[in-house]
Structure 1
Amino acid sequence: MRDQGLTRGVGLWSFTGSIVNGVVGAGIFGLPAAMAAAAGGLAPLAYLAVAVVMGAVVICFAEAGSRVPTSGGAYGTVEAAFGKGAGFLTGMYMWLASVLACGGIAAALCDALAILVPALSGISPRLAILAVIFVLIPWVNVRSTGLAAAVIAWGTLIKLVPLAVFVLVGGAVLLAGHDAPVATEAGQGGHFAEAMILALFAFCGMETPLGASGEVSDPVRTVPRATILAMLFVLVLYVAIQMVAQGLLGPALGGSAEPLADGMRRISPALGLVLLAGGILSRFVWIGSDILGAPRVLFAFARDGMLPAALGRTHPRFATPHVAIWVHSLIAVVLAATGTFTRLAILSTLATAGLYFLACAAALALRRRDVAILGQPLTFRVLPVAAALGMVSMVVLIAIAKWAEIAGFVAVTISSLALYAVMRPRR
């Protein structure tokens, strides 16, 4: 069995926390501006609309996870439902979403550093910053997985504390009726569809910690409960951040490069600097987290004979998947150097939409076949409706993207299936 030898020691609250940490990424420091630029004052409604869709997806993940509570998360449930080919496509979607998001977060980090230190603006300093980031972080990951994981654990506080400060201080100022600009007018952006895609990007990430379902205690109950609790918390947090940002910056929100820092600067220059520094450090830590986890997808597929064998090599001294780490990092740095946060976030979201479509379909298939690895699974009466809503919504989200982005998604899907057809082990 895939989980043989694993200890099921992760409880409800620790698993809920890991899902929150996986979903609340560094992108939230810049996302309110992109959301406002796309949808204006309607941006919170985009979050709410996507939250309804994500509720349906969460139901599918929860039931499928209780039926197949195995390491690999969505990869495991889709493979159990439809076979190794569909599992491979799911894994490729997961990796692609990660590397695109990594490039987008790195691009945003460069923008934030240029605001903090104006001398770092321009192409040459940007390339130098990216070179430092994507040499230092992969080097740490290659030398010591334990050190990388410890840095990321401490970095979680770096991410959550500034967000809490922004919501609590900014919210208190607005509630007290202090001078604030007129809130962003509804309809200012005029691109609600793009805001929906960006909102889905904000909610992405639960699939990564769900990959550790094989180590969760009482997974039939813990996995669905933790997933639902975490997503409810994230929804409240995101809407609060967007509302406070709109209240503090008003019409200026859509053009802000660092909306949380700019909002705090309206209250106190010192707080603005704290939020700017927190956003920079959070992005740096998020990139470290991505490079710790995402290359393992390439490594695992290479070890299974479905990607070139070189990606499955381990370092002779440090016993880490060094080739996969460096390849992933090289692709991410190219993306960061040539793309913007918003564009890369949208492309990452399309890959995630493909993943969620397959996960919803897998939940239905597992229900029909009454698959249950560990005892009585959790069952939702609304699963057929939730799966249908999830699948249709993912198709719609892909369809409302730009033609070039849709073409890229289709090309990735076809090329991944073709690669599996060529590389799959012959027995």
Structure 2
Amino acid sequence: MSGAVAAGRDAGLARGIGAFGLAAAIVNVVVGAGIFTLPAGMARAAGPWALVAYLLCAVAMAAVVLCFAEAGSRVPTSGGTYGYVEAAFGPQAGFVAGVLLWLSCVLAAGGIASAFADAVGRMAPALAGPGGHAALIVAALGTLTLANLAGVRVASRLVAATTVVKLVPLGVFVLVGLFFVRAPALHEGAAPDAAGIGRAVLLSLFAFQGMETALGASGEVADPARTLPRALIGAMAFVAGFYVAIQLVAQGLLGGALAAAPTPLADAMATIDPRLGLLLVVGTAVSMGGWLGSDLLGAPRVLFAFARDGFLPRWLGGVSARAQVPAPAILTHAVIAAGLAITGTFETLVVLSVLSACALYLGGCAAAWVLRRREVALAGVPLRLPALEAWAVTGCGSMAAVILLARWDEIAALAGEIAASCLIYAVARRRGGAAGSGG
């Protein structure tokens, strides 16, 4: 992909997202609702060794983040990973990466929206029925969609604000909980086998997943060669430390009971004061809403990029004249996510969503290496990391290993998704060629 292609794809968009706004979007979309329940799953899989699994995943993700930081500084265009892979390996590989990215995002958005409605329904039983459930989903996604349609600055500020609000109960959990940690509890729980550690690594990777969604808005980042690396590395370093601290406190408060806790963070805080447990319940709902805001800021830009590149109807590549945002793509993404949330048909694809992210990360790491070798730089002087080749090999190898932790039928489903993407690409190109020759 040339600079002219990238410029054409991002034409009409305002580069108004700064380092803090992008970092907040990354933190918001990565630190999602899952972290409020994940410690129990980690404890079931790895017992007191869950912290080791987090550290192993953090090392693997560090390699991916560093590769993405350099690739993003070289190709800061709408679609994020889609743009990196396309610039390195050509339009077909980029299209496959974009399909994996968007599908993973929209399925996750449907899941979080449905879970948000469930959480609110538990606090307000009058809204717990099917009608109230659907109304809550439409209201939540509708409100966040309107904020995104108002402009990228409004959307990024909303994301920053909800990130701060969401992090308050988690911060209270860590800061208060540390004073009540019982040292013996850190060693309680069943000792895991190798399969348990592997499952815990897979779970923790799901918790780290999401930066690719926020990077979908790379075409609207100000001074991208500097802003993208700073925001990405800073945000993910914060997330890694935060996750380790949360798991440590949860284990230190509940000990062997952590594995069976239905709401682990709320249950852990309730051992100190029931009011703190309620704070964590509210924090879960806020977290879900904030996650959806970040998803709507980043993921629709993949549809927008596809349309600008001729793979989807041209109207999806439209930009609103007043707010300078890809309004048709935002609305389309929100409507599909709402449909998935209301019907609930997406739940069986949760594991495939994680595997899709692994495939994306593997492609992004390889793309960073290729972009460095070709000295691609579409927007200013790019970041040049020391030992990039080593980071790329580590990232690719780690993601391949995680994919192999899945069942063979799940791996086959991922392969089928990639094959279907290639078929769609071939059909779109054939139609484009025919149209061109007939014009």
- TM-score normalised by L of structure 1: 0.85
Residue 128 (structure 2) pairs with residue 132 (structure 1): no
Residue deviations 1:156-213, cap 9 Å, x none?
23311111011111112227x7x97974344289622222122111112222333344
What is the correspondence of 1:231-250 to structure 2 with a 5 Å cutoff? 231-250=236-255
What's the CA shift for 1:103? 3.6
Opposite residue 155 of structure 1, the aligned amino acid is: T
Separation (CA, whole Å) in 1 of partners of 2:225 and 2:245:
32
Letter of the structure 1 residue corresponding to residue 28 of structure 2? N
Distance 2:164 2:384 in 1: 35
Q: For residue 74 of structure 1, report the CA deviation from its aligned partner.
A: 1.6
Q: Deviations over 1:247-286 (max 9, x none)?
A: 1122222222221111111111111011101112221332
| Correspondence for 2:51 | 44
The Cα shift of 1:232 comes to 1.5
- Identify the match of residue 358 of structure 2 among 347, 353, 359: 353
Q: Which stretch of structure 1 is more off in the superposition, 149-158 or 389-398?
A: 149-158
Residues 51-70 of structure 1: pairs in structure 2 closer than 5 A = 51-70=58-77
Amino acid at match of 2:73: S
Superposed CA RMSD in Å reads: 3.4
Shift of 1:324: 4.0
Q: Secondary structure at the match of 2:311?
A: coil
Greater displacement, 417-426 / 45-54: 417-426
Q: Is the 8 A contact 1:33 1:255 kept in 2?
A: yes
Distance 1:127 1:310, change over 3 A: farther
Question: Which of 89, 112, 115 is the equivalent residue of 1:82?
Answer: 89
Q: Aligned residue for 2:235?
A: 230
Find out whether 1:287 has 2:292 as its counterpart. Answer: yes
**Which residue matches 1:168?**
175
Q: Give the secondary-structure state (helix, strand or coil) at the position aligned to 1:41.
A: helix
CA gap 1:76/1:408 in 2 versus in 1, 3 angstroms: same
Look up the match of 1:35: 42
Match of 1:393 in 2: 398
CA distance, structure 2, for counterparts of residue 414 and residue 142 of structure 1: 32
Whole-angstrom distance in 1 between the partners of 2:161 and 2:380: 37
| 1:371-396: CA deviation from partner (whole Å, max 9, x where unpaired) | 22244432233111211111121111
CA contact (8 A) 1:112 1:258 kept: no
TM-aligned CA deviation for residue 313 of structure 1: 8.2
1:193 aligns with 2:198: yes
CA contact (8 A) 2:25 2:294 kept: no
Give the partner amino acid of 1:220: A
* Kept after mapping to 2: 8 A contact 1:75/1:87: yes
Q: Distance in 2 between matches of 1:153 and 1:11?
A: 11
Aligned residues: 417
2:303 maps to which residue?
Answer: 298
Q: What is the one-letter code of the residue matched to 1:280? A: A
1:208 aligns with 2:213: yes
Structure 1: distance between partners of 2:126 and 2:194: 31
Looking at structure 2, the residues matched to 208 and 181 of structure 1 have their Cα atoms a distance apart, in angstroms, of 34
The one-letter code sitting in structure 2 at the alignment partner of 1:395 is: A
Distance 1:356 1:377 in 2: 20
Query: Structure 2 vs 1, CA of residues 113 and 138 (structure 1 numbering), >3 Å: closer, same or farther?
Result: closer
Pick aligned residue for 2:337 from 328, 333, 344? 328
Please point out which of 359, 383, 388 is paired with 1:383: 388
Amino acid at match of 1:243: L
User: What CA distance in whole angstroms lies between the structure 2 residues aligned with 1:90 and 1:11?
Assistant: 26
CA 1:361 to 1:127, structure 2 compared with 1: closer, same or farther past 3 Å?
A: farther
Q: Cα–Cα, structure 1 residues 289 and 372, in superposed 2: closer, same or farther, change >3 Å?
A: closer
Greater helix share, 1 or 2?
2
Q: Does 1:273 align with 2:282?
A: no
> Aligned equivalents of 2:346 and 2:383: distance in 1?
45
> Aligned pair in 2 of structure 1 residues 87, 300: CA closer, same or farther (>3 Å)?
same
Residue-by-residue CA offset, 1:15-65 (whole Å, 9 max, x unaligned): 433332332222211111222222222211111111111111122112212
Q: Distance in 1 between matches of 2:200 and 2:278?
A: 28
Q: Distance in 2 between matches of 1:238 and 1:227?
A: 17
Partner of residue 31, structure 2: 24
SS at match of 2:406: coil
Distance 2:319 2:222 in 1: 31
Aligned to 1:93: 100
Distance 2:78 2:280 in 1: 36
Structure 1 pair 158/347, CA: closer, same or farther in 2 (3 Å)?
A: farther
CA contact (8 A) 1:99 1:328 kept: yes
Change (3 A) 1:210 1:143: closer
Ranges in structure 2 where 5+ consecutive residues have no aligned partner = none
What amino acid is the match of 1:47?
A: Y
Q: Provide closer, same or farther for how the CA distance between residues 186 and 104 of structure 1 changes in structure 2, counting only shifts above 3 A.
A: farther
Name which of structure 1's ranges 357-366 and 321-330 shifts more when overlaid on structure 2: 321-330
More deviation, 18-27/55-64: 18-27
1:418 has 2:423 as partner: yes
Quote the offset at 1:78 in angstroms: 1.3
Q: Secondary structure at the match of 2:377?
A: coil
Deviates more, 1:139-148 or 1:58-67: 139-148
C-alpha distance in 2 between matches for 1:9 and 1:295: 17
Deviation at 1:137, TM superposition (A): 2.9
CA 1:292–1:365 in 2, change beyond 3 Å: closer, same or farther?
A: closer
